[in-house]
Amino acid sequence: MGIVEELKKEFTERFGGEGDIRVYFAPGRVNLIGEHTDYNGGHVFPCALSMGNYAVARKRDDETVRWYSMTYPENGVFESSIRGLEPNDNGLCFDYQLGVIWALEKNGHKVPGGFDMVMKADLPAGSGLSASASIEELAAVICRDLYDMDISMVDCALMGQYSENEYNGMNCGIMDQFASAMGKKDHAIFLDTATLKYEYVPLNLKNEKIVITNSKVKHSLAGSAYNDRRRDCENALKDIQSVRDVKTLGDLSEEEFEAVKDAIKDPVCVRRARHAVYENQRAIKAVDDLKKDDLKSFGELMKQSHISLRDDYEVSCPELDILSEEAWKIDGVIGSRMTGGGFGGCTVSIVKEDSVENFKETISKVYKEKTGMDCEFYIADAADGAGRIE
Phi, psi dihedral angles at 249 (to 5 degrees): -65, -30
Catalytic residue among 38, 95, 116, 176: 176
Q: Is the dihedral of CA 164, 185, 116, 72 positive or negative?
A: negative
Q: Is 176 among the catalytic positions?
A: yes
C-alpha to C-alpha distance for 132 and 111, rounded to whole angstroms:
21
- 8 A C-beta contact, residue 31 and residue 340: yes
For the chain, what percentages of helix, strand and coil (3-state, to nearest 5) are there? 45, 20, 35
Sheet holding 376-379, edge to edge: 333-339, 346-352, 208-214, 376-379
- Which of 93, 98, 120 lies closest to 111 in space, CA to CA? 98
- 8 A C-beta contact, residue 201 and residue 44: no
Query: Pairing relation of β-strands 64-69 and 78-81?
Result: antiparallel
Could you tell me which residues come within 8 angstroms of residue 355 by beta carbon, excluding any fewer than 6 positions away?
A: 330, 331, 332, 333
Q: Which residues are catalytic?
A: 176
